[in-house]
Amino acid sequence: MKKTGLTAALLAAALTLVACGGGSDPLAADPSESAEGGGGNETEVVVGSANFTESQVLGELYAQAMVAKGVNARTQPNIGAREVYLTALQDGSVSVVPEYTGNLLLYFDANSPASTAEEIESALQETLTSEELVLGTPSEAADQDVYVVTGEFSEANGVTSLADLSKVSADSVLGGPGELAERSYGPPGLAEVYGAEFKEFKAYNAPAVKIKDLNDGKIQVATFFTTEAAIADNGYVQLEDPEGMILPQNVVPLMAPAVAEDPAAVEALDAVSAALTTEDLTALNKQVDADRQSPEDVAGEWLASKGLA
C-alpha cells in the first residue's frame, strides 16, 4: 500500500523535527557530504540514512562501495525516523536506505507471525513487492533494540529481564527515542507482553543526555542499540527478552527498483552485507561517537580494509 498521501506532512515534520544546522532541509542535496561516482552511470543513486550514528555510517558504506564500482552515488544523511525516510524512498527523494529486518517488517505488517531471521526475510520479500521496494541481501551483522538498566539498579531491584520490569515500572521512568512511544516493542509492548506500565516515558534525541540521565537516576530504564559502545563503557545490564518481543534485526539495504536493476550497485551492496559483522558495527559506531571521527572517514577506512574501495 502506497503512503504517498503522507508525503507532504512527513516531509514537513522532517524539516521541523530532524533537520541539522538550524532550518536546513534534510532532503536537500549537499555535495560537501556526498560520495561522487566516477563511472559512466549517469543516474544518481542517493543513499539516505536515519538520524542516528549507525544509520549514517551504513549509508556511507553503501554509497562509497557503489562509487568504487563506478556508480554515481552520494549520501543524504540524517533524514529522520523510519516514517520519514521510507516515505522519501517511496517518493523517489532517495534511492537506498539502510534498514533492519525485524522492525522493517513490523512497519509494513505489524501482525506478521514471522519470528526467526529466515521467516522475517521471506515475509519481507512478499510484503515489499506491493510497496514497489526491493530488499537487498541481509547481512549477518545485526543490531537489536535492547532495554538496559544500570548495574546498581539491577542489583538493588533484582531486574535482569523484561519480565522483571512489572515490579518496578510503576515508580520508574523509561527513556528512549521519541518514536519508541508508539512502537510495538516500546511502552505498548512492554505493557501487553510483560505487564510493565511506566510512570513516565521520556523522549531523547541526544544519546549523551540519555546516558547522563540514566547514570544520574533521572530515568531508570532506557533503550539502546546493542552495537552502542555506551552499554559496555557504562557497565549497563542488558535485559533479557524471554518472550521474544523484539524481533531479529539484521542490517539490510532497502532500495528502489531502479537500483536493484543496476548490477554494479547490487554487487557493491551485496559485498558490504557479506563483509560486515556485528563487531564491526560496534567498532565503527564507537569511532564516530567516542573518537569523534566522521561517518564518511570511518566508512572509507573500513571499506579499504576489506578491499571494497
Q: How many CB atoms lie within 10 A of CB 215?
A: 15
SS3 223: strand
Confidence of residue 30 (pLDDT cuts 50, 70, 90): very low
Q: In the β-sheet with 251-255, what is the strand arrangement from edge to edge?
A: 73-76, 45-48, 96-100, 251-255, 134-135
Confidence of residue 126 (pLDDT cuts 50, 70, 90): very high
Answer yes or no: is pLDDT of 149 > 70. Answer: yes
Average pLDDT over residues 184-191: 95
Confidence of residue 15 (pLDDT cuts 50, 70, 90): very low
**Burial zone of 3 (CB within 10 Å; 0-12 exposed, 13-18 middle, 19+ buried):** middle
Average pLDDT, the chain: 88
The reported pTM is 0.76
- At 228-251, the pLDDT tens digits run 989 999 999 999 999 999 999 999
CATH of 145-238, one of 3.40.50.720, 3.50.50.60, 1.10.357.10, 3.40.190.120: 3.40.190.120
Q: Are 77 and 288 in contact (CB under 8 A)?
A: no
The set of long-range contacts for 227-234, using a CB threshold of 8 Å and a minimum separation of 24, is 227/54, 227/143, 227/278, 227/281, 227/282, 227/285, 228/282, 228/285, 228/289, 229/282, 229/285, 229/286, 229/289, 229/290, 230/289, 231/146, 231/148, 233/290, 234/150
Confidence of residue 35 (pLDDT cuts 50, 70, 90): low
Domain ranges of the chain: 4-142+249-305, 145-238
Q: Which of 22-36, 73-87, 92-106, 260-274 has the lowest mean pLDDT?
A: 22-36
Answer yes or no: is pLDDT of 32 > 90. Answer: no
Helix 278-289 to helix 53-68 angle (10° resolution) is: 110
Q: What pLDDT sits at residue 42?
A: 67
CATH architecture of 4-142+249-305: 3-Layer(aba) Sandwich (3.40)
Helix 53-68 to helix 295-305 angle (10° resolution) is: 50
- Percentage above 70 pLDDT, the chain: 86
- Which grid cell is 29? 542535496
Distances (CA, A) of 46 to 5, 94, 171, 196, 289: 22, 5, 46, 41, 24
Q: What pLDDT sits at residue 205?
A: 86
- CA 18, CA 50: separation in Å to the nearest integer? 9
Q: What pLDDT sits at residue 43?
A: 85
C-alpha torsion sign, points 295, 131, 7, 204: negative
Confidence of residue 155 (pLDDT cuts 50, 70, 90): very high
Q: How far is CA 118 from the centre of its chain?
A: 19
Q: What pLDDT sits at residue 5?
A: 37
Answer yes or no: is pLDDT of 18 > 70. Answer: no
Average pLDDT over residues 131-146: 96
- At 190-225, the pLDDT tens digits run 999 999 999 999 999 888 999 999 999 999 999 999
Q: Which of 14-18, 56-60, 100-104, 264-268 has the lowest mean pLDDT?
A: 14-18
User: Is 145-238 the same fold as 4-142+249-305?
Assistant: yes
Confidence of residue 69 (pLDDT cuts 50, 70, 90): very high
